Structure 1
Amino acid sequence: MSSYLTLLKTPGVARVIAAQLTARFPFGMLSLAFLIHIEQIFDSYGAAGLVLGAMSIGQAIAGPLTSRLMGRWGMRPVITATLVVCATSIVTMALVPMPIWALMVIGLVAGLSTPPIQPAVRTIYPKIVNSRQLTPLFSLDASAQEIIWVLGPVIATFVAIQVSPVAGILLAAIFLIGGGIWFLVLPEVGRVRIPRSRRKLGVVLKRPAVMLSTIVGFMLVAACAAVEAGVVAAFGHGSSTSGWVLGIFAAGSLVGGLALGHAPIGPWALAGRMLIVTAGLSLAAAGNLSFWWLAATLLVAGIGIAPAFAVLFGIVSASVKFSDTAEAYGWVGTGQLMGAAMGSAIAGFMIDQSGATAAILVAAGFAGLGTIIPALGRRWHPDLRGRDPSPLPDTAPIQVQVS
């Protein structure tokens, strides 16, 4: 823990982490709040899964595009524009009665305009710490973001039940606006300039580590989305128990990230961390869906989540040039958001057909694939043991003056 405290004392680190967590906090609330809101209106988890899926698909499409635009127009203009559109769309979905197709359309717009704060902050990190601190910082960030998933579901469930689902959605919008403005005014956001990439959009996916991270991120987040839907269905939208269980799931990730943050990242690192997730979810699906059983098994599953994310961030950082980092993280984010869409949609329909246990089985299946893929593709997994994980330097012509 002392090493993390030392890291937080590095100028700029604590405020960048705090601001970006606040800006991203609503995304720990919105899925559950919209799930409860739409299920209450249409009496269908499948309908809720469609809307959440449309939002996630929009985010997936936007990820690499808005990330790349930051290299052309700058971080602040891109984040400001997307923040305004995204917040407006979310508030409209909460307050204006409309059919499912209209909710899906506006949800798609909200997803397309999601502020690219995560790619921005991943690009800033290598510029505010030295190379030895970068891997621990990625781990600390992956652990700290679990605060979003610990408190987000609990707050969303509490507000949705005690006040209304609409109030939960509006509270998330307030976090989005306030946190977004805080992030925008940080001096580090103004100081770090992303060089304009000379490559075509998507070329960075030819980097094996980027593709591996994108695919495994898809599987990991699909598993988490399916778990979220399954837990809500197991306890019903009128119970706060689901929020506590999901909070325990995220607390396991927080503990795992802090405990494994300094573990060496070798070729088996990603498969090993995903195996922990798979084991916990398989146990959850094998038992009854009681509070204590789910709390215990999802706590185990959670231990592998933040460490897996830290590995994803680390191997991408070490594999691309600085000018390509934002786009690379945008593609990784796209994979994760497509996973959220797929996990929510499949789990929603499986719940309608077979009950909550089916959603947990779906989650275990996604996690299992997320374990097998990096095990088979370990030769494309960078070995970062004793290696600088900072982005590769961009090369540029050198002017030579001849006398």
Structure 2
Amino acid sequence: MGIYRELARNPGVVRVLISQLTARFPFGMLSIILLLHIQLAYGDYTSAGIVLAAQSVGQAISGPVSSRLMGRLGMRPVLALTSLLCAALLVAIAVAHLPLAITAGLALLVGLTTPPVTPAVRTLYPKLVPGNQLAGLFSLDAAAQELIWVMGPVVAVLVSSQFGTAVGLCVAAGFMVVGGAWFILSPSVGSVKIPRSQRGLGAILRRPTVVISTVVGFFFVASFAAIEAGIVAAFTPAGDGAGHGSIESGIVLALFAGGSLVGGLLIGHRAMRPWSLLLRILMVLAGTLLCLVSLNIWWLGTVLFLGGLGTAPAFAAISNIVSSTVKFSETAEAYGWVGTGQLVGVATGSALAGVAIDAAGAPGAIVVSAALLLVCAIVAAAAMRWLPDLKGRHIEPLPETGTLTIPLP
């Protein structure tokens, strides 16, 4: 655990870590709140799936584009504009009951204006700490990210159940503005300039490790969104028109987050081997499959805590893969694609879970989650030959220039 004390001694690290966590926290809330808000407004989960799908399309477009714009316009202008626009759109969805098509259009704009906080902060990290501490910082970031993806739905369920889904959306917008401002005003954000990439948009996808990280992140996060929706449905009484879930679902999801936090701190900073990503995904898959044995609150909490031990370490592995295999000028765009995969995964997993809940109840969403994790594990196993072996190595971006061999006449 000494690695985390060393990290805290680096100037700016603690502020960047906490502020970006606050700015990204709404991303973990939105899928569940939108699912509940639209289901309540229109009377079925399929309508919620349409809105979430529209949001995912916007996110798919915005991720790499907004990340690349940070290299042209700077981090602060891009982050500030997108944060304000996205928050305003969320408030509009919360307070206005509009036809489904218009609401879906607003959700598309929410996706298009999603602030690129994730690629921004992961581009900053190599400039904040030396290479021998970067694995520890990615591990700590992954544990914090799990608080976003798992604790975010807990907060969403609790706020929505007590005050309504409209208030929940406004709370998410508040986190986005306040956390975004805190992060944007960090001195580190102003001091680091991302060089312009010399290649066209999307050229980074020629690197197998970026494609692997994006695809794995998509299925991995989609599985969480699905099981979170299933847990909420499992503890929502039949015929409850509010659709707000209950305190039981919050307890189960909090235990899931606790397992991930423990796993991230104990395992995530360990040197990554080519098989590490697969092993960590299989841990989560085992916990998810065990959820099908019983929907008892303590059984679900226990097996998800155990499965969660592999969650943050898997995210840390993805960050290590990207940071060690791309150039610094391409890091923001690479993380933009990875972030897009994860954000689209949230919306897609929630949408699939919504349809499954309508068809088969809470167990249907758990089956969807397990299926997504199984595909994720297959991808990680098939991609093992391209994954780096970081044992005994410092994590640092590839050099911007390479050696040019000129043949002698």
Decide which of 353, 356, 359 is 1:347's aligned counterpart: 353
The 1-side partners of 2:273 and 2:126 are apart by 21
Structure 1 residues 388 and 124, CA gap change in structure 2 (3 angstroms): same
Aligned partner of 2:59: which letter? Q
Contact 2:71 2:193 in 1 (8 A): yes
Question: Partner letter of residue 296 of structure 1?
Answer: T
Query: What code does the residue aligned with 2:279 have?
Result: G
CA contact (8 A) 1:4 1:136 kept: yes
Residue equivalent to 2:277: 270
* 1:1-400 equivalent positions in 2, closer than 5 A: 1-236=1-236, 237-285=244-292, 287-395=293-401
Task: Check whether the contact 1:230–1:356 (CA below 8 A) recurs between aligned residues.
Answer: yes
Task: Tell me which moved more, 98-107 or 313-322.
Answer: 98-107
Once structures 1 and 2 are overlaid, which stretch shifts more, 211-220 or 228-237?
228-237
CA shift at 1:277, angstroms?
0.9
Which stretch shifts more, 388-397 or 223-232? Answer: 388-397
**Equivalent position of 1:400 in the other structure:** none
State the Cα distance separating 1:156 from its structure 2 match. 1.9
Normalised to the residue count of structure 2, the TM-score between the two structures is: 0.94
Where do 5+ consecutive residues of structure 2 fail to align? 237-243, 404-409
Once the 2 structures are TM-superposed, how far is the Cα of residue 182 of structure 1 from its aligned partner? Answer: 0.8
Q: Counterpart of 1:205 in structure 2: which amino acid?
A: L
> Is the CA contact (8 Å cut-off) linking 1:86 and 1:115 kept in structure 2?
yes
State how far apart, in whole Å, the 2-side matches of 1:54 and 1:300 are: 34
Distance 2:223 2:177 in 1: 29
Deviates more, 1:229-238 or 1:136-145: 229-238
TM-score (norm 1): 0.95
Shift of 1:396: 9.1
Q: Would the alpha carbon gap of residues 224 and 151 (structure 1) be closer, same or farther in structure 2, given more than 3 Å must change?
A: closer
- d(CA) in 2 for partners of 1:228, 1:151: 10
Q: Paired residues, what number?
A: 397
* One-letter identity of the residue aligned with 1:113: T
TM-superposed CA distance for 1:172, in Å, is: 1.2
Contact 2:260-2:310 within 8 A present in 1 as well = yes
Q: CA deviation at 1:150?
A: 4.6
TM-fit CA distance, 1:374: 1.4
Q: Alignment partner of 1:28: what SS?
A: helix
What CA distance in whole angstroms lies between the structure 2 residues aligned with 1:242 and 1:123? 35
Output the CA distance in 1 between the equivalents of 2:85 and 2:340. 19
| AA matched with 1:164 | G
Flag the 1:240–1:46 CA change in 2: closer, same or farther, 3 A. farther
SS of residue paired to 2:291:
helix
2:151–2:253 contact (8 Å) kept in structure 1: no
For the 8 Å contact 1:60–1:333, the answer to whether it is kept is no
Cα distance in 2 between the residues matched to 1:89 and 1:10: 37
Deviation digits for residues 203-236 of structure 1 (CA, Å, limit 9, x no counterpart)? 1111111111111111101111111111111111
CA deviation digits over 1:322-354, x for unaligned, max 9?
Answer: 000000000111111232232122111111111
Letter in 1 for 2:65: L
CA contact under 8 A between 1:53 and 1:344: conserved in structure 2?
A: no
Q: For the aligned residues, what is the CA RMSD?
A: 1.6
Q: 1:257 offset after TM fit, Å?
A: 0.5
Whole-angstrom distance in 2 between the partners of 1:238 and 1:187: 41
2:304 maps to a residue whose letter is: L
Question: Which runs of 5 or more structure 1 residues have no equivalent in the other structure?
Answer: 398-403
Q: Which amino acid in structure 2 is aligned with residue 125 of structure 1? A: Y
Question: Using the alignment, how far apart are the partners of 1:45 and 1:114 within structure 2?
Answer: 23
Q: Distance in 2 between matches of 1:342 and 1:288?
A: 25
Structure 1 CA distance for aligned equivalents of residues 101 and 229 of structure 2 = 21
Contact 2:11 2:128 in 1 (8 A): yes
- SS of 1:29's equivalent in the other structure is helix
8 Å contact kept, 1:226–1:360: yes
Deviates more, 1:4-13 or 1:43-52: 43-52
Counterpart code for 2:133: Q
In the alignment, residue 259 of structure 1 is paired with which amino acid?
Answer: L
Give 2:253's aligned amino acid. Answer: L
Give 1:127 shift.
0.4
CA distance in 2, matches of 1:338, 1:157: 21
